Amino acid sequence: MAKDKKLVEHITAMDEDFAQWYTDVVRKAELCDYTSVKGCMVFKPAGYAIWELIQKNLDERFKATGVENVYLPMFIPESLLEKEKDHVEGFAPEVAWVTHGGLNELQERLCVRPTSETLFCDFYSKEIESYRDLPKVYNQWCSVVRWEKETRPFLRSREFLWQEGHTAHATAEEAEARTIQMLNVYADFCEDVLAIPVIKGRKTDKEKFAGAEATYTIESLMHDGKALQSGTSHNFGDGFARAFGVQYTDKDNKLQYVHQTSWGMTTRMIGAIIMVHGDDSGLVLPPKVAPTQIMIVPIMQKKEGVLEKAEELRSVLASNFRVKVDDSDKSPGFKFAEQEVKGIPLRVEVGPKDIEAGQAVVVRRDTREKTIVPFDKLSETCEALLAQMHDDMYAKAKAHRDANTHVATNWDEFTDILEKKQGFIKAMWCGEEACETAIKDETGATTRCIPFAQEKLGDVCVHCGKPAKHMVYFGKAY
Amino acid sequence: MAKDKKLVEHITAMDEDFAQWYTDVVRKAELCDYTSVKGCMVFKPAGYAIWELIQKNLDERFKATGVENVYLPMFIPESLLEKEKDHVEGFAPEVAWVTHGGLNELQERLCVRPTSETLFCDFYSKEIESYRDLPKVYNQWCSVVRWEKETRPFLRSREFLWQEGHTAHATAEEAEARTIQMLNVYADFCEDVLAIPVIKGRKTDKEKFAGAEATYTIESLMHDGKALQSGTSHNFGDGFARAFGVQYTDKDNKLQYVHQTSWGMTTRMIGAIIMVHGDDSGLVLPPKVAPTQIMIVPIMQKKEGVLEKAEELRSVLASNFRVKVDDSDKSPGFKFAEQEVKGIPLRVEVGPKDIEAGQAVVVRRDTREKTIVPFDKLSETCEALLAQMHDDMYAKAKAHRDANTHVATNWDEFTDILEKKQGFIKAMWCGEEACETAIKDETGATTRCIPFAQEKLGDVCVHCGKPAKHMVYFGKAY
Ligand SMILES: [Zn+2]
Ligand SMILES: [Zn+2]
């Protein structure tokens, strides 16, 4: 029993030190690890399997909207990166440069892609000739590199995995519609699959993507009250098209610039899952992206028939769920602790007494609620419990977010909330970048988004007192 | 009709200029394209979709043998690459070097991974402590970079996509068994999915992987008689483990080195598909990896009921196949040519007369054989035709390989075959590297493998006349 407890003891309590709790969970759940390459991490099987499920689900959603997958090179020649002025200013300071190939110095430096707008523009400038070639709705799954100084597992690392969609359209309206469509795909995915509620809105000009006309975002709230930008969708208008000469001849045989978008979601969502749903015992995985949804733990497994029964149940459940039997030599208590640390949604306990009574004990990871289930009802009960667990996890996360969303109608209230509370602050804002910068400098809080769902909380800016233009979500962010 | 023919006319005949035929097919089937990054290519939707199907099928086969997926960094510090002497000698001349991160010069150069043995060793040296941690059977899907001078679409490019499996085992026997197991997975995949027959065997010491104790390979024969190395599986023994200090304590509490393997298959298999199955009209895709398996072409589609019927058939077929309707404004002849260029296995033609007769015309891409099929038998007939097409494509490829596999019992025969024929040459070899090098220098033919299925064709080496050790497949290779 000492050994059983030890596994859990190593996790720092969330309320004691959230950052340490996060690190402990990442390590104990065996999601990832640092490497000899500074700022880069290894995705271990338990972490990568979550990403595989995220990919599969998102990819199906993309394809249902007409997205096609492609793969473009990981290198960008310096001259290509420099073609769009805002873009290069935003990214050049944080890229990795390849200067030598084999034994020779390159004639032109190549950066390892931090994002691929420039490559897609170059590609589209050759691919697109006529309105018949439009729209192009392409996406790629790949890794990108940004030379960050401070790194944290999943949230910020020098190399991370993501998808980046890049589209080209004949009209501004079509580009805007695609930008919003993909933001909605991300929002639905977060809520329906990851059980994470999100706020949809627009980034301010200060916070938008380098080179974009408009950046839309979904913002979620972590357990510690910090915000996490969870997915972004950018409308570039024809800015990149003009810089790269991406043109098409329309139906009247006139040359026009295309209108472009891009949108991305990254492996930081694994960090979001940890920080939204986790607890002091470890990870709590949303059922739809749990690599193992059900762990069967045989009790007194050396008794005749126990392992056979466990295997029989596994085989029945396997047609509907991702299920395993833990038939290792560890004690049941240790196995329980391990299943909890790893966030496996359901545990099915089955021992000699259960077999005699023709039933198993099913335990939910999130509430630890136990249900006694006759063997012949096990599959349907697990299905209902997993569905309920998803709904409850979502409701809990939403309740936490709502309880940590505050309204500030004046600057005293604003600073008071930051001092005494945590979470989002809704407040009116004048729309001026200087004011936004001042708020950030004075408090560390940034504009998370101008939500689509606007509320009129007052007439003047919470900071400068000038006439208010928008209601904004402010917050401290990862 | 002039326009219809044009699409096909642009493909050079295979027998006229095979290299140009290959380039034409790659371009006309819209599989990939060159980019502004020298030696790197874009995988366009039609090309990437084949890779996605290859990935899905291979990944399932891997996981059925216990493989878990991970993701390791794309960068390798120079000092890590240098730890295994043979390995660094093999790869250092052809890697890309990152020397700057952001605005600063790095203290140590990083190469972009050409392969990840060194990173996995570094990772395993931290992960593995006891025999309980073994085996580790990990794989990653990623891109790798090798600074090639000459490049060809899919066959050789500076960046390519692949999977690389890396395993660590307690014993030499277990490592050898895994090496052979994965070679068999590759062979089965090539034959059962890609309809490409392969020769299984071992590479000579000269041709083996840098740092390996033994490299096993599957070799296939292209239509032009050149060989293509199609998948390799390496047994490292404990060489890397000693270089990187990857040790475990065994059951007797003694420190032991692990035994390692690695194995990979790449996007060059798309090149193999083209060169094994393609014909003068374009690509011929093996049904199991065809992104679109059936293209429905409506005839006289403006007549009432035709498009509706086409859509109805699509909807019925969609439950079993990857199927599309080509309802574009192009003429049927143009659509037929396009379906052929793109290698879509089956074409279903349906027009007013067919609808009246309650039937459709199904045309196989490989043989152009037409079958008239009642609507209510369409799904089962397509299934049978696709299965037959796979078998016939395999049989045809095997017959071609067998007809182009020759025996040479002396040097005159060997050179005569190379001069007048094409394909594999089976011959006896002394086992000496100097002799192997001389054969290569004199003829351009290399040892493809020492096949597992040995035959005794004579007592002496085909080149030097010394006592023969092995029967070897020789050939010119991509
Ligand atoms: Zn203001
Ligand atoms: Zn010899």
| Dihedral-angle region of residue A431 (phi above 0 means left; psi in -120 to 50 means alpha; beta otherwise) | left
Contacts of A94 in chain B (CB under 8 A): 102
* Structure confidence by residue, pLDDT tens digits, B113-163: 999 999 999 999 999 999 999 999 999 999 999 999 889 999 999 999 999
Ligand nearest to the CA of B434: 2
Tell whether the model's pLDDT for residue B43 goes beyond 50: yes
Tell whether the model's pLDDT for residue B410 goes beyond 90: yes
Contacts of A354 (CB under 8 A, 6+ apart): A299, A360, A361
Distance of CA B128 to the CA centre of its chain: 32
* Structure confidence by residue, pLDDT tens digits, B72-128: 999 999 999 999 888 888 898 899 999 999 889 999 999 999 999 999 999 999 999
Quick one: DSSP state of residue B12? Answer: P
Contact between B72 and A119 using a beta-carbon 8 Å cutoff: no
More confident residue, A210 or A113: A113
pLDDT of residue B3: 45
User: H or E stretch including B56?
Assistant: helix B45-64
Ligand 1 midpoint to CA A451 (Å): 17
Q: Where are the alpha helices (DSSP H) in A142-261?
A: 172-192, 239-244
Contact between A102 and B80 using a beta-carbon 8 Å cutoff: no
The SS3 assignment for A413 reads helix
pLDDT of residue B10: 83
Ligand 2 midpoint to CA B231 (Å): 27
pLDDT of residue A426: 98
Rounded to an integer, the average pLDDT of A311-337 is: 96
Closest CA to A463 of A436, A444, A433: A436
Q: Give me the half-sphere count of Cα atoms (radius 13 Å) on the Cβ side of residue A240.
A: 33
Contacts of A441 (CB under 8 A, 6+ apart): none
Share of chain B above pLDDT 70, in %: 98
Tell whether the model's pLDDT for residue B340 goes beyond 80: yes
d(CA B454, CA B348): 46
In this structure, how many other beta carbons lie within 10 angstroms of the beta carbon of residue B413?
15
Comparing alpha-carbon positions, the chain B residue that sits nearest to A31 is: B70
* Structure confidence by residue, pLDDT tens digits, B441-456: 999 999 999 999 999 9
Ligand nearest to the CA of A470: 1
Tell whether the model's pLDDT for residue A10 goes beyond 90: no
Quick one: DSSP state of residue B69? Answer: E
**Peptide bond before B135: cis, by omega within 30 degrees of 0?**
yes
- Phi first, then psi: what are they for B30, rounded to 5°? 55, 45
Rounded to an integer, the average pLDDT of A184-192 is: 98
Cα three-residue angle B108-B111-B116, rounded to 5 degrees:
120
* Structure confidence by residue, pLDDT tens digits, B230-258: 999 999 999 999 999 999 999 999 999 99
**Token digits for B332?**
């049927």
Closest CA to A44 of B269, B477, B138, B317: B138
pLDDT of residue B1: 38
Using DSSP, how many helices (H) and how many strands (E) does chain A show?
15, 23
pLDDT of residue A87: 86
pLDDT of residue B85: 87
- What is the residue type of A38? K
pLDDT of residue B8: 54
- Relative to beta strand B32-34, strand A470-475 is unpaired
Q: Using CB atoms, pick whichever of B73, B95, B158 lies closest to residue A159.
A: B73
d(CA A101, CA B423): 34
d(CA A426, CA B383): 59
Quick one: DSSP state of residue A128? Answer: -
**0.85 surpassed by complex ipTM:** yes
Contacts of B442 (CB under 8 A, 6+ apart): none
Contacts of B33 in chain A (CB under 8 A): 123, 126-127
Count CB pairs under 8 A between chains A and B: 149
Ligand 1 midpoint to CA A239 (Å): 29
Ligand nearest to the CA of A204: 1
pLDDT of residue A1: 38
The SS3 assignment for A34 reads strand
pLDDT of residue B36: 87
Ligand nearest to the CA of B431: 2
Q: Using CB atoms, pick whichever of B35, B98, B143 lies closest to residue A97.
A: B98
Comparing alpha-carbon positions, the chain B residue that sits nearest to A158 is: B73
Contact between B102 and A122 using a beta-carbon 8 Å cutoff: no
Give the residue from A48, A60, A78, A95 with the most B CB atoms within 10 Å of its CB, the best one to mutate. A48
Tell whether the model's pLDDT for residue A336 goes beyond 70: yes
Contact B445, B219 (CB under 8 A): no
pLDDT of residue A8: 54
Rounded to an integer, the average pLDDT of A194-214 is: 96
Contacts of B96 in chain A (CB under 8 A): 75, 98, 100-102, 110
d(CA A295, CA A80): 51
Contact between B97 and A101 using a beta-carbon 8 Å cutoff: yes
Ligand nearest to the CA of B458: 2
* Structure confidence by residue, pLDDT tens digits, A64-93: 999 999 999 999 999 999 998 888 888 888
Give the residue from B33, B35, B122, B159 with the most A CB atoms within 10 Å of its CB, the best one to mutate. B35
Rounded to an integer, the average pLDDT of A262-274 is: 98
Contacts of B44 in chain A (CB under 8 A): 70
Contact between A101 and B74 using a beta-carbon 8 Å cutoff: no
Contact A140, A70 (CB under 8 A): yes
- What is the residue type of A107? Q
pLDDT of residue A435: 98
Ligand 1 midpoint to CA A408 (Å): 13
d(CA A425, CA B208): 63
Comparing alpha-carbon positions, the chain B residue that sits nearest to A267 is: B71
d(CA B65, CA B357): 50
- Relative to beta strand B294-298, strand B255-257 is unpaired
d(CA A221, CA A196): 9
Ligand 1 midpoint to CA A462 (Å): 7
d(CA A136, CA A128): 9
Domains and CATH numbers, chain B: 18-72+122-277 (3.30.930.10), 292-387 (3.40.50.800), 405-475 (3.30.110.30)
Contacts of B110 in chain A (CB under 8 A): 37, 96
Contact A257, A241 (CB under 8 A): yes
**Peptide bond before B93: cis, by omega within 30 degrees of 0?**
no
CA dist A440 to A215, A300, A422, A448, A464, Å? 19, 59, 16, 11, 13
Tell whether the model's pLDDT for residue A2 goes beyond 90: no
Contact between B102 and A95 using a beta-carbon 8 Å cutoff: yes
* Structure confidence by residue, pLDDT tens digits, A132-171: 999 999 999 999 999 998 899 999 999 999 999 999 999 9
Share of chain A above pLDDT 90, in %: 93
In this structure, how many other beta carbons lie within 10 angstroms of the beta carbon of residue A109?
19
Quick one: DSSP state of residue B131? Answer: G
Tell whether the model's pLDDT for residue A9 goes beyond 70: no
Cα three-residue angle B172-B175-B178, rounded to 5 degrees:
150
What's the full length of chain A, in residues?
478
Contact between A42 and B93 using a beta-carbon 8 Å cutoff: no
Comparing alpha-carbon positions, the chain A residue that sits nearest to B108 is: A37
pLDDT of residue A3: 45
Contact B101, B221 (CB under 8 A): no
User: H or E stretch including B117?
Assistant: helix B117-127
| pLDDT-derived band at A7, boundaries 50, 70, 90 | low
Annotate B388-410 with b (16+ C-beta within 10 A) or e (fewer): ebbebbbebbbebbeebbbbbeb
pLDDT of residue B283: 98
Contact between A73 and B126 using a beta-carbon 8 Å cutoff: no
Tell whether the model's pLDDT for residue B2 goes beyond 60: no
Contact A53, A193 (CB under 8 A): no
Ligand 1 midpoint to CA A203 (Å): 16
Contacts of A371 (CB under 8 A, 6+ apart): A361, A362, A363, A364, A381, A385
* Structure confidence by residue, pLDDT tens digits, A284-310: 999 999 999 999 999 999 999 999 999
Tell whether the model's pLDDT for residue A5 goes beyond 60: no
Comparing alpha-carbon positions, the chain B residue that sits nearest to A91 is: B102
Contacts of A69 in chain B (CB under 8 A): 45, 48-49, 52
Contact B27, B20 (CB under 8 A): no
Gap between the terminal Cα atoms of chain A = 38
Ligand 1 midpoint to CA A435 (Å): 5
Contact B42, A116 (CB under 8 A): no
Q: Where are the alpha helices (DSSP H) in A278-351?
A: 306-317, 332-341
Residues that place a CB less than 5 A from ion ligand 1: A 430, 435, 461, 463-464
> B302-310 contacts: CB < 8 A, separation 24 or more?
B303/B351, B303/B352, B305/B352, B305/B355, B306/B350, B306/B351, B306/B352, B306/B355, B309/B350, B309/B355, B310/B350
Rounded to an integer, the average pLDDT of A442-459 is: 97
